[in-house]
Amino acid sequence: MAIHPIEYRYGSKEMKAVFEEQNKLQKLLDVEAALARAHAGVGNVSAEDADIISKKASTKYVKLARVKKIEEETKHDIMAVVLALSEQCGSAGKHVHLGATSYDIVDTANALQFKQALNIVCRDLVELEGILLELAKKHIKTIATGRTHGQHATPITYGLKFAVWAREIRRHINRIDESRKRILVGKMSGAVGTMASFGEKGMQIQELVMKNLELIPAEVSTQIVQRDRYAEVILLLALIAATLDKIGREIRNLMRTEIAEVSEPFAAKQVGSSTMPHKRNPINAEKVCGLARVIKSNVFVALENVSLEHERDLTNSSSERVIIPESFILLDEILKTTKKVLSGLIFHPENIERNLKLTKGLNMAEAVMLALTEKGMGRQKAHELLRKLSISTSKENVELKKVLLESKEITRLLSKKEIESVTNPEKYIGTAVEQVRNVLKIAEKERSS
């Protein structure tokens, strides 16, 4: 019976498959096979025995049920794998796991899973970046109200908003690529890291194993690969989740009834509330924000796992069984959800226009202030004048333009035509269009390389 929502609700089949027991077992067997071949490469075992071990190191022969049966007796998961593989290899079985400690196998297998999972994450990030770039291009001149501190600020464009998110996603892609050299690392160093169990050829054996598995050998290790590497994995996933949380929160806010500038896609038979038939809730964006909290909370556990005792203790093992698959699978879920939300995002131009005019021109006060300074008025004097006129505008509930035209201090420097121009939001978006075009140009080069 399913218990954790990951089992039946969250994550794609592809990402879940990376962390399913069958795949985990196969990765452990892959490492055992690579170790046998490395021993053959340095002359410790015959090529024939290494070939037998390699052939049998498959879930086709080593069944998960058998491994679990042995583990019930041995109370040791890796020893169960070793024994299950050995019994399939005949006389060659005596060479299985030769010189290795459990975490030579576990940590190297983990790196293989990290590689698979990060490739899925990276692919989704590239697709999400593409969606954001298309939105930035399409809405390059869609002018809207900018907001700071939850209050209306100066105008912005939706294109600029999407371009900012696109670049953040690109940085995550770059972080993954750059971090692979620290994350995709395995080791064959024995019980405390001295490689004593591998003899004089320890370094060579480790090099051969990692070369065969296309991983990077740890420069030095204890019984485990040091957990700052694993903390970096979880921190990286949490950082991506934080960006998705930010995007989801913005969509949720823009969907508020009072704002209503954009909406999530809503299916024909979708129900928003069990009691309020009219509701169209931002459930997907809310899911993104909610699951991001779980991923971010796993960072604490990953950091605690860095400080293990002496050459290692076992406190990291149990928690890693939870936080590693959970973080990857939940991130997979919210990445795919964010792609769905943004690719189907519905815009409400009439509300964008309404909100742009909601403050009756007060969002153009900065533009008026700067226009006055260009005419010779001191910046501080212009700021104070516009502050007072803005208060009058709010109290009288009239257009800022009307108050400006009635102010002798303003009309002494600005003509009616200039006031009309300087209070037009379309004329106060600065280099927003140019910045988006620059982002699109940079992104095109990056995505084609």
DSSP one-letter string for 60-84: TTS-HHHHHHHHHHH--HHHHHHHH
Is pLDDT of 275 > 80? no
Overall average pLDDT of the 80-108 stretch: 97
Which residue in this structure is represented by tokens 């257009």? 399
pLDDT at 276 (0 to 100): 79
Helix residue spans in 184-227 (DSSP H): 202-213
Confidence of residue 289 (pLDDT cuts 50, 70, 90): very high
Distance (Å, rounded) from C-alpha 121 to C-alpha 222?
Answer: 30
Gap between the Cα atoms of 189 and 164, Å rounded = 45
Contact 360, 399 (CB under 8 A): yes
Mean of pLDDT values over 29-52 = 98
Q: Which of 187-196, 260-269, 336-345, 349-358 has the lowest mean pLDDT?
A: 260-269
Q: Which long-range contacts (CB under 8 A, 24 or more apart) does 12-19 make?
A: 12/120, 12/332, 12/333, 12/336, 14/120, 15/117, 15/120, 15/328, 15/329, 15/332, 16/329, 18/113, 18/116, 18/117, 18/120, 18/328, 19/113, 19/117, 19/324, 19/325, 19/328, 19/329
Domain spanning 102-131+166-263+280-355: CATH superfamily: Fumarase/aspartase (Central domain) (1.20.200.10)
Residue 145 DSSP SS3 = strand
Q: Token pair of 242, please? A: 């934080």
Poorest-pLDDT segment among 3-17, 267-281, 368-382:
267-281
pLDDT score recorded for residue 200: 94
Three-class secondary structure of residue 217 per DSSP: strand
- pLDDT, mean over the chain: 96
Cα 13 from chain centre: 18
User: How far, in Å, CA of 227 to CA of 140, rounded?
Assistant: 44
pLDDT of residue 267: 75
The helix/strand/coil state of 1 is: coil
Return d(Cα 319, Cα 327) in angstroms, integer.
12
Please tell me the predicted confidence (pLDDT) of residue 1. Answer: 81
CB contact at 8 A, 224 and 145: no
CB under 8 A, 24+ apart: contacts of 86-92: 88/56, 88/61, 88/62, 89/49, 89/52, 89/53, 89/56, 90/52, 91/49, 92/45, 92/48, 92/49, 92/50, 92/52, 92/53
For residue 449, pLDDT beyond 90: no
Tens of pLDDT, residues 117-140: 999 999 999 999 999 999 999 999
CATH number for the 358-427 domain, one of 3.40.50.300, 3.40.50.1110, 1.10.3720.10, 1.10.40.30? 1.10.40.30
d(CA 430, CA 428): 6
CA atoms of 122 and 176, how far apart (whole Å): 7
SS3 string, 430-447, reads CCHHHHHHHHHHHHHHHH
| Two tokens, residue 129 | 């970046």
Written as six digits, the tokens of 234 are 């979880």
**What are the tokens at 145?**
């109200």
Confidence label for 271 from pLDDT (cuts 50, 70 and 90): confident
pLDDT single digits (tens) 336-395: 999 999 999 999 999 999 999 999 999 999 999 999 999 999 999 999 999 999 999 999
Nearest to 355 by CA among 164, 163, 161, 142: 142
The residues assigned a catalytic role are 149, 273
The residue written with tokens 């794998």 in the block is 81
The H or E element that residue 317 is part of is helix 315-343
Please give the share of the chain, as a percent, with pLDDT higher than 70: 99
* pLDDT band, very low/low/confident/very high, at 71 (cuts 50, 70, 90): very high
Taking only the tens place, the pLDDT of each residue in 392-402 is 999 999 999 99
Q: How far apart are CA 214 and CA 226, in angstroms?
A: 19
Please state the φ and ψ torsions of residue 158, each to the nearest 5 degrees.
-65, -30
Which helix (H) or strand (E) covers residue 181, if one does? helix 158-183
- For residue 89, CA distances in Å to 25, 35, 419 come to 17, 15, 88
| Angstrom distance (rounded) from CA 414 to CA 371 | 8
DSSP state at residue 196: G
CATH class of 10-95: mainly alpha
Q: Inform me whether the pLDDT recorded for 256 exceeds 90.
A: yes
Element (H, E) at 146: strand 143-148
Residue 280 has pLDDT above 90, yes or no: no
Q: Per mean pLDDT, which range of 59-68, 108-117, 265-274, 359-368 is the poorest?
A: 265-274
User: pLDDT tens digit string along 123-182?
Assistant: 999 999 999 999 999 999 999 999 999 999 999 999 999 999 999 999 999 999 999 999
Please tell me whether residue 157 adopts helix, strand or coil conformation.
strand
Extents of the domains making up the chain: 10-95, 102-131+166-263+280-355, 358-427
List all residues 6 or more positions away from 94 whose beta carbon is below 8 Å from its beta carbon: 86
pLDDT in tens, 295-349: 999 999 999 999 999 999 999 999 999 999 999 999 999 999 999 999 999 999 9
Mean pLDDT of 8-31: 97
| Whole-number Å distance between alpha carbons of 187 and 225 | 7
